[in-house]
Every structure is written in C-alpha cells, then in structure tokens.
Chains A and B, each alone.
Chain A
Amino acid sequence: MKPPPFEYVAPSSLEEVLAQLEEGGFDARPLAGGQSLIPMLNFRLARPSILIDLNGVEELSFLRSSEDGSVRIGAMTRQRAVERSAEVARAAPLLAEALGHVAHPQIRNRGTLGGSIAHADPASELPAVMLVLQARFRVAGVSGERWIPAAEFFFGPFMAALDPGELLVEIEVPAREHGEGWAFEEVARRSGDYALVGVAAQVRVDADGVCQRASLGYVNAAPTASLAPTASEILVGEVPTSERIAEAARTAAGDDCDPPSDIHASHVYRRRLADVLTRRALDRAFARAAEVHEP
C-alpha cells in the first residue's frame, strides 16, 4: 500500500496552478486535502502522473462574509476551520452541523471544503448540503472563470461539472434567511463513517406557520447528491403538520430518491432510512423555524 510514482509540483499562485492543470491534461490531478485522494493512491486505485499540490496557494484559503451576508469560502479552506467559523455558524448553521458528521476531526483538520465538493462523492455530506444551501461555485481555468450553481454541479457519482483544466476555487454560501430552520440527519454504521443515508433540510415558515420553503438534500440516496423537489412541493404553501411531514418524507423516499445497494445496505433499506430521516430532519428544522416566530 505505497503510492505509485508521480511528478509533484507545488505552485504558490492560482495562475500557476491553472497553467499546470492545462498543461498536464488528464494526467494531472489537483491535490487538495488529500483525505480521499491519498488513500486511493495508497491502494493504487488512482494513478495520476502529475500531482498539483494546492496547499501552498494561499489565495485559495479564506473565509469571509460579504455585504449581503453570504459567506465566501476559498476552496482550500480546511473543513475544521469552516466548522468552527462564526460566520458560517451565523449564515449557514446547516453546514456547520453537517461538517460534524464528516469523518473525524483528524481528517477535517486536513480535508478541505472545495476538495470534498469537487470530489462529488454521492456518499459525502457536503454536496447534499451545498444543494440545499443553494451555494454557488466559482471555477477557474486558464481562459477565465465562471460561477456554477450547486444544482448544476453534481451530475454523477464522482462527476462534477468541471471541464478539463478547470479548478473549483471558491464556494459562496448564501446567508440563511430570517425564519429559516435547518437540520442534518444521517445514519452511519459507526461514528464518522460515510452515511448509509443522510438528509439535509432547510425550511422557512411565515408568521402563520405556513411553509414558504422546504429544501431537502440527500446523501447516498441516489447516484449523486440530490434534492427532493416532489416532497418539497407537498410542504410549500401548507402548514407542516406531522401528517404532512410524513407524507413529504414518504414521497421523498419513494419518488425523489433512487438509492444504491451495497454491502452495507440494500436500496429498500436505504429508502426506509430516507423516509425516516426526512421526517426527523423536517421535524427538527420546522421546530427551529417556528422558534423565530415565538413571542
């Protein structure tokens, strides 16, 4: 279990990184936190000929609030820093809550927000959270940069909407609106494991208790991180009674999810988990949302 040989470059600017990526083509791989890539190298399941280490690129590591309240996070910001950030706690507490489920602190000390998102692992927590938060991703290449909404970013297992030579450089997370409640629920075999299924929920109710927004994002319940639009429709415009929540959860699991089978769980079992966890996440999220309106 030793990595195969590779060339290694450690540029210090984004410009250099992009030039190296362009030049390296398919054989080049950016190395972010390495907490997924290096195990694959050690098992010799990945064999890039060039590794472009992003860890020396200081301009990719930042976390700040914008005037509109959104949080802008450099792709190389460590997950642990995001988890502990006051800005994130204020603007996107769902992200902080979900990060607590990502592996263990020793991994999050090294793992980066951008690395995990770009890896687009359907079993990873962050893509689902990004969908629910309606985050946007700034990606850059030698010929320029563009913003991609999260909803258009994850399109298959380990497949992100990055063109060859492009790098995810920044994540913009919009601020939670007043009155929004959130919850992250997952079932994992052990503490810190990838979830059998996970659900991220963010909801908003008005003063009359009517649901204005309900967004549900799924971990490991489809070939890629996914939303549950059908279930959301059941909730929006309605008072989230326990019956309605149960119906939404059933619908999310039955219609919106398409979970895989593997040695840990069958798709039938995962559907059940999606149902149960959706209900639990919605219960908690709506309870938080309702607190805002409490006298």
Chain B
Amino acid sequence: MSLIRIRVRVNGEEHEREVEPRLLLSDFLRHDLGLTGTHVGCEHGVCGACTMLVDGDPIRSCLLFAVQADGRELATVEGLAEDGDLHPVQRAFQEAHGLQCGFCTPGILMTVVAFLREQPTPTPDQIRDVVSGHLCRCTGYQNILEAVRLAAEQAAS
C-alpha cells in the first residue's frame, strides 16, 4: 500500500508526514503527532470524544482519514490554553465541575469553543442540543451544561 505525503497545520504548527490512506485522523493526531489529548471512545462517530476542529468546524476525527486533512487547519485541545493559561471555556469547566474522569472532555471543549464563537449568547436549549452530540458517562451532563452557560456569561461580561 502506497504512502501519501500530507501537510497539515495543527494548532498553528505545520506538520508533514507520510501516511497510509486508511489511517484515521484520530490515530494520526495521537500516534503520528503525539497529540494524545484527543481521545478515542467508539470509532464509529457516536461518542464525540475525538471531536476536533477542521477549518474551525467541529468534526469527529475518527470519521475522517488523515489524508483528507491534507492542507487543512486543525485545532485540538492542546491548542486551547495559551502560555499555560487555560482557555476561558476550560476555566468554566473547572469552575462548574463540568468534568470527572475527563476522557470525553477534550472533544466537548472543541465543540463548545466553536459553538460559542458562532453563538455567543446561547439559549439553554441550544446548549443542551449541542452537548447532546457527545456522550459522557460520569457527569450526567448537568455541570457540562452549566459550564457552557458560565463560559458564555463570562465572555459576555
């Protein structure tokens, strides 16, 4: 099987690698680039743990091949904090106790960061709807919803 050379920008940094076409983007990030903050929970697009941003939009990285990311701008959880300071959405998650084991959290953060960029003053229903694209077994979601609300509120003030 032939390898294909790809170039991606991840969190602002250029990477060039040769990959098999079947390599899932999630595995590429985790194994080839060592960006293990993006987690893998189901590999069939349901759980949302592997969600990251492709050209700013949240997508499941288990449902994309790395070759398809060639030339794209990718963002993962590792790129949220700046100079060691957590992103406001990350801070809101800590403040609201919006995570427990933390396995699903990176995917949720990526969805929420993109969501709040687009919808800075969301309604509770909109928050519930966007979070429902992720599975979390620990929190019962209540504090995740609260964290999103809090992040929006803090950004507004």
Contact = CB atoms under 8 A, between A and B. Distances in A.
Direct touch of chains A and B (CB < 8 A): yes
Contacts of B65: 8, 34, 38
Contact of B64 (A4, A10, A38, A103): A38
B133 interface: yes
A34 B61 CA distance: 11
Given A6-B21, A34-B63, A104-B132, A42 B58 contact: no
Interface string A79-113: 01000000000000000000000011111011000
20 contacts: A2-B24, A3-B22, A7-B21, A8-B22, A38-B45, A38-B65, A39-B63, A42-B43, A51-B21, A53-B68, A104-B130, A104-B132, A105-B58, A105-B111, A106-B59, A107-B45, A107-B63, A109-B58, A110-B63, A191-B129
Contact of B22 (A6, A10, A39): A6
A148 to B, nearest CB: 28
Nearest to B67: A8
B128 to A, nearest CB: 8
A55 B43 contact: no
A192 interface: yes
Given A3-B24, A107-B133, A191-B129, 12 more contacts: A5-B20, A5-B22, A8-B65, A10-B68, A34-B68, A38-B65, A39-B45, A53-B68, A104-B130, A104-B132, A109-B57, A191-B132
B1 interface: yes
A43 interface: yes
Contact of B60 (A3, A10, A106): A106
A110 B72 CA distance: 14
Contacts of B133: 103-107, 192
A41 B24 CA distance: 11
A55 B44 contact: no
A134 interface: no
A1 interface: yes
- Chain B residues touching A, range: 20 to 34
A190 B133 CA distance: 10
Interface in A1-59: 1-8, 10, 34-35, 38-39, 41-43, 51, 53, 55
Nearest to A190: B132
A43 B63 CA distance: 12
Q: Is the interface of A mostly helix, strand, loop or mixed?
A: loop
A110 B64 contact: yes
Contacts of A43: 44
Contacts of B63: 34-35, 38-39, 107, 110
Contacts of B111: 105-106
Q: Is the interface of B mostly helix, strand, loop or mixed?
A: mixed
Given A109-B59, A110-B60, A10 B67 contact: yes
Interface in B8-29: 20-22, 24, 27
A129 to B, nearest CB: 20
Interface in B59-108: 59-60, 62-65, 67-68
B4 interface: yes
Interface of B: 1-2, 4, 20-22, 24, 27, 43-45, 48, 51, 57-60, 62-65, 67-68, 111, 129-130, 132-133
Nearest to A80: B57
Instruction: List the 10 closest pairs (A to B, CB-CB), nearest first.
Output: A104-B133, A8-B21, A39-B44, A1-B43, A191-B132, A109-B57, A38-B63, A3-B22, A106-B58, A110-B59
A104 B2 CA distance: 34
A262 B99 CA distance: 35
B64 A34 contact: yes
A6 B65 CA distance: 12
B67 A192 contact: no
A41 B44 CA distance: 9
Contacts of B68: 10, 34, 53, 55
B47 to A, nearest CB: 11
Contacts of B58: 105-106, 109
B2 to A, nearest CB: 8
B68 to A, nearest CB: 6
A75 to B, nearest CB: 17
Given A5-B1, A105-B130, A106-B51, A42 B21 contact: no
